[in-house]
Amino acid sequence: MADRILVLDAGTTSTRAMIFAPDGTMEAVAQEELTQHYPRPAWVEHDASEIWTKTLACARQVTGEAAGAIAAIGITNQRETVVAWDRHTGEPLARAIVWQDRRTAQFCADMKDYGHEAAVQQRTGLLLDPYFSGTKMRWMLDHDETVQAAAQNGALAFGTVESWLVYKLSGGAHLSDASNASRTQLLALDGAQFDEDLCELFGVPRAALPEVVDTHGSLATSEPEWLGRAIPICGLAGDQQAATIGQGCLGFGETKATYGTGAFVLTNMGQAIPRSDHRLLGTVLYQQDGVRTYAIEGSCFVAGSLVQYLRDQLGLIGSAAETEELARSIEDSGEVVIVPALAGLGAPHWKPDARGVISGLSFASGRAQIARAALEAMAHQTHDLASAFAADGAPWCRLNIDGGMSVNDWMAQDLANILDLPVERPDFVETTALGAAILAAVGCGLFATLDDAAPAMRGGTRCFAAEMAKDVRDARLARYAKALAAA
């Protein structure tokens, strides 16, 4: 009996393929780095063909001759990144514009000046910011002649990365799951399909957009040529929604934070459409049989990428793992504070023109102080989000963490200290891929429900309890608030 799940995890810096057993054990993994293109300051692009070819190569590597054991494919992906392709040839029309890209900041500012933000937030749960997909699509239409021509002759297809991969795998199915579609600003949270009025507002042709489908179920089927036989595609979700499911946050109020390239916090809000008065986001968590479960979300644009910046741009560390050793080597940061606004500030501030700040430097400041301040910035940003969530009526009682940075024990403890909450980390921190596996396992019938699949496929956890004195915590937060004002 085929009972393995093939997960394709198309991230920002790399793409991977993994095989999961029904008990959640990851049996194989292959990974390829993705080329980052920075044609201008604040512009970030990917080659969509590279995403496809490297994802396929990884999938072939892990399946090998064992394609017959694969019951279903699950896909999770970097959200908000936009691909434009020719629906007849299946070839990209331009480089993909990545979620980190800020080129549409002025367009967003103009829409705010025209008074559109309140209505957009009410309908979509999202604010007017370059982060989201709709303005990226509009930019392509305004500035790329190839995309313009495809739109005029009816050949243009727009999609986020999961949509692009499904199109290539299936030989032409043009669809997007509800979790990814809810990140475009073109889907009303209570609308089944992309909204004509929102498409008109953003200037994006509705005909170029995919069909919106469930996050799990019989969604599409791969062509036999790719993996040796046709395999059903049964799970699709944006990376942060997938991680929430992988953390088992299936009950109202349960919260997870993923620390990867950025930091993303989601709280399960059940089937009530979330509304925020504190500049958090409403989003679709998952959808089954047309019924949606929602989440409220806070997004910080810079997390692991700050450590990468210290390594690659400043040369202060040789590897990310060094940060924990350096942080432990000193009693405190010597009042050095970092505000990691290298790509602007996300929630709850939403300041795309903000820039990073390192404050409190003295002759006593060295590598260790700066590395420790970089890790402390994760807790400071998360505390900002915790305050906003609580003000919106969604206080946290525990925080489940995951992502590449979460393996740093010092950072996990610092989060517990600054939040004054228990922080729980799974033994298997790749919860984004696990979430896609859980969705696909339910979608293909290996489990009846998500509530059945999540506990069966999740492993053990470790808990970090707060142990910081209140006066120390308050002093840290006061220094961060001062530095934040300067950003």
The 3-state secondary structure of the chain reads CCCEEEEEEECCCEEEEEEECCCCCEEEEEEEECCCECCCCCCCEECHHHHHHHHHHHHHHHHCCCHHHEEEEEEEECCCCEEEEECCCCCECCCEECCCCCCCHHHHHHHHHCCCHHHHHHHHCCCCCCCCHHHHHHHHHHHCHHHHHHHHCCCEEEECHHHHHHHHHHCCCCEEEHHHHCCCCCCCCCCCCCCHHHHHHHCCCHHHCCEEECCEEEEEECCHHHHCCCCEEEEEEEHHHHHHHHCCCCCCCCEEEEECCCEEEEEEEECCCCCCCCCCEEEEEEEECCEEEEEEEEEECCCHHHHHHHHHCCCCCCCCCHHHHHHHCCCCCCCCEEECCECEECCCCCECCCCCEEECCCCCCCHHHHHHHHHHHHHHHHHHHHHHHHHCCCCCCCEEEECHHHHCHHHHHHHHHHHCCCEEEECCCCHHHHHHHHHHHHHCCCCCCHHHHHHHHCCCEEEECCCCCHHHHHHHHHHHHHHHHHC
Residue 232, CA distances (Å) to 8, 130, 223, 437, 441 in order: 13, 34, 9, 13, 11
How many other C-beta atoms are found inside a 10 Å radius of the C-beta of residue 127?
22
- Sheet hosting strand 216-221, strand order edge to edge: 26-33, 14-20, 4-10, 70-77, 232-238, 216-221
Residue 48, CA distances (Å) to 164, 167, 168, 238 in order: 8, 12, 11, 17
Give me the half-sphere count of Cα atoms (radius 13 Å) on the Cβ side of residue 447: 23
Cα 355 from chain centroid? 22
Cα 252 from chain centroid? 21
User: Six-digit token pair at 409?
Assistant: 């024990």
Backbone angles phi, psi at 440, to 5 degrees: -65, -35
Backbone angles phi, psi at 272, to 5 degrees: -90, 130
- Residue 351: predicted pLDDT: 84
- Residue 279: predicted pLDDT: 85
Of residues 382, 378, 373, the one with CA closest to residue 332: 373
- Residue 174: predicted pLDDT: 98
Of residues 162, 160, 185, 171, the one with CA closest to residue 80: 160
In angstroms, rounded to a whole number, what is the distance separating the alpha carbons of residues 210 and 289? 18
Taking the domains of the chain in order of start, what are their residue ranges? 4-239
Of residues 311, 366, 359, 363, the one with CA closest to residue 339: 359
* Unique residue bearing structure tokens 């008990």: 23
Tens place of pLDDT per residue across the chain (487 aa): 789 999 999 998 899 999 999 999 999 999 999 999 999 988 999 999 999 999 999 999 999 878 889 999 999 999 999 999 999 999 999 999 999 899 999 999 999 999 999 999 999 999 998 989 999 999 999 999 999 999 999 999 999 999 999 999 999 999 999 999 999 999 999 999 999 999 999 999 999 999 999 999 999 999 999 999 999 999 999 999 999 999 999 998 899 999 988 898 999 999 999 988 888 999 999 999 999 999 999 988 889 889 999 999 899 999 988 999 999 999 999 999 999 988 888 888 888 788 899 999 999 999 999 999 999 999 999 999 999 999 988 889 899 999 889 999 999 999 999 999 999 999 988 899 999 999 999 999 999 999 999 999 998 899 999 999 999 999 999 999 999 988 7
- Residue 262: predicted pLDDT: 85
- Residue 284: predicted pLDDT: 97
Tell me the one-letter amino acid at 72: A
Tell me the one-letter amino acid at 262: G
Q: Which CATH superfamily is domain 4-239 in?
A: ATPase, nucleotide binding domain (3.30.420.40)
Cα radius of gyration (the chain) = 21
Q: What burial letters (b/e) apply to 364-387, b meaning 16+ CB within 10 Å? A: ebebbbbbbbbbbbbbbbbbbbbe
Handedness of CA 462, 463, 468, 473 (dihedral sign): positive
Classify strands 70-77 and 4-10 as parallel, antiparallel or unpaired: parallel
Q: Which residues contact 411 (CB under 8 A, 6 or more apart)?
A: 259, 323, 324, 327, 375, 378, 379, 405
- Say if residues 278 and 322 touch (Cβ distance below 8 Å): no
User: Six-digit token pair at 359?
Assistant: 């404050």
* Unique residue bearing structure tokens 């921190």: 429
